[in-house]
Structure 1
Amino acid sequence: MNDRLKKRFQELLNEANRIYDRYQRSESPNSHIEESDWRLGEEKWFASVDSLIAKVFGEQSPHREKFAEIPSGYSKDDSVFRSRLAIFQAAKEDYDCGLTDLRALISADVFSDELEQAEELLAANYKTPAAVVAGTVLETTIRSLCDKHGIQNDRKTKLDTMNSELAKVGEYNKAKADQVRAWAKIRNSAAHGHPEEFTETDVKLMIAGVRDFVANQLN
């Protein structure tokens, strides 16, 4: 995922340089650049940058809000474009430094499957959000199984309680319940900001285990 986003940032920077070059050439007496070509290229760039910033930093991020404040309309001078470009360059610099909103990465729609999200995050060295995503899948599955057996599972019901109740009704055995408890512990450590309590290997095994658990229990 990191490589794809990095590539996209660079592509849009290259396109920005081409747009700026058009502005410079338009000042020449020999310029024959059609205004409609400018309008189309610049508007397409604006929309692409807005989408990328929202995906990487979040819909409500400062970069996105500042970028959205600038009118999307075309202007004959380069003042509006330069304002847009400055924000884009700041966002790119923050991305290059790793200053992204991990919540946005988790919810990005580039992945159709949540466990694939977790795998991609882990591969990108984001073990904490990867564990949170896998843990969310686990809890959602547990709640579905509780619904199946008529077991209480409102927001106040703890995962450990639901897990124990499912073992009692025979949904799975004690060994599986212990495994669920171990996965839940990793998820809780990740959610409460204690990454030192688990390793990347722990998360890798958790993702694989949760995938099997979902397949076996919901089939």
Structure 2
Amino acid sequence: MALTETFNRRFAELDDHFTAMPYHQYLHGDGRFVPNGFWRKWATSADNLIRAVCGENSSHYRSFTAQFAKTSETEKSVKELYAIFAAAKDDFDGGYVFDVDLRVSGEVFGDFVALARQALSDGRKDVAAVLASAALEDALKRFAVANRLDVEGKDMQNVVNALKGASLVAGAQKSLLDAMPKLRNAAFHAEWGKLGEADVGSIIGFVEQFLLSKFSAP
């Protein structure tokens, strides 16, 4: 199941949990309250979900955590916290939140790139070439799929052509991308004589910039 589907299901579950939350009348005074054990459990799960979906630097998450810190058991206070959750859910359902599949994939690919850069600095050029090329090819395919391009079973050159045809890469990035399939093929076919350290460095540099521009939340 894609992350988007998992998060969508969890948003719906927490929305239902909030609707079912029990309210009690104060014995002395007006108004109602929600027992701490109920609203804090819900809020903790909501906090975790919004952070995973929107990122720690998002306005949704910052607003939720700030409100969470000052929320009390009163009905008014708990519903103010829910309002922020509902806003995050509406934006996610409407497709206005950055694609979480891309963001999480970008974090994973970033680890591969870091390993590739370390390998290159350690003099293991060939290892670095394979790691960086694998990250690049998978990143290109995931980005294409996220933009509804049919690249199933296609090689890297065809994926590149599909991205260019859809105008999803442009400028200097487009020019640099043209050279990547050849370098990738050399790495995957163990044609080490065709790959110098500068070539491997260019693959790593390209993947880093591609992840920053296409896989990072705005």
TM-score by length of 1: 0.51
Instruction: Determine whether 1:38 maps to 2:57.
Output: no
Structure 2 equivalent of residue 100 of structure 1: 97
Looking at structure 2, the residues matched to 64 and 194 of structure 1 have their Cα atoms a distance apart, in angstroms, of: 22
Instruction: Determine whether 1:143 maps to 2:90.
Output: no
**Letter paired with 1:2:** T
Instruction: Determine whether 1:55 maps to 2:52.
Output: yes
**Letter paired with 1:187:** V
Structure 2 equivalent of residue 209 of structure 1: none
Distance apart, 1:59 and its partner CA: 1.3
Instruction: Determine whether 1:85 maps to 2:82.
Output: yes
Contact 2:91 2:97 in 1 (8 A): yes
Structure 2 equivalent of residue 68 of structure 1: 65
Contact 1:12 1:49 in 2 (8 A): yes
Distance apart, 1:139 and its partner CA: 3.2
Instruction: Determine whether 1:190 maps to 2:187.
Output: no
Distance apart, 1:182 and its partner CA: 8.8
Structure 2 equivalent of residue 16 of structure 1: 18
Structure 1 residues 144, 193: closer, same or farther in 2, change over 3 A?
Answer: closer
Structure 1 residues 72, 41: closer, same or farther in 2, change over 3 A?
Answer: farther
Distance apart, 1:142 and its partner CA: 2.9
Structure 1 residues 138, 175: closer, same or farther in 2, change over 3 A?
Answer: farther
TM-score by length of 2: 0.51
Aligned CA RMSD, in angstroms, stands at 4.3
Give the unaligned 5+ runs of structure 2.
28-32, 126-175, 177-182
Structure 1 residues 42, 2: closer, same or farther in 2, change over 3 A?
Answer: same
Looking at structure 1, the residues matched to 26 and 36 of structure 2 have their Cα atoms a distance apart, in angstroms, of: 19
**Letter paired with 2:207:** R
Q: Aligned to 1:60, what secondary structure does the other structure show?
A: coil
Contact 1:131 1:186 in 2 (8 A): no
Q: Aligned to 1:67, what secondary structure does the other structure show?
A: helix
Distance apart, 1:67 and its partner CA: 1.4
Looking at structure 1, the residues matched to 207 and 89 of structure 2 have their Cα atoms a distance apart, in angstroms, of: 31
Give the unaligned 5+ runs of structure 1.
30-34, 106-120, 152-159, 196-219
Structure 1 equivalent of residue 193 of structure 2: 174
Distance apart, 1:39 and its partner CA: 1.6
Structure 1 residues 61, 132: closer, same or farther in 2, change over 3 A?
Answer: closer
Deviations 1:69-115 (A, max 9, x none): 2245542x31011101111100000111222245xx4xxxxxxxxxx
Contact 1:129 1:190 in 2 (8 A): no
Structure 1 residues 72, 44: closer, same or farther in 2, change over 3 A?
Answer: farther
Looking at structure 2, the residues matched to 186 and 143 of structure 1 have their Cα atoms a distance apart, in angstroms, of: 12
Looking at structure 1, the residues matched to 107 and 55 of structure 2 have their Cα atoms a distance apart, in angstroms, of: 18
**Letter paired with 1:87:** I
Contact 2:113 2:208 in 1 (8 A): no
Contact 1:46 1:72 in 2 (8 A): no
**Letter paired with 2:37:** L
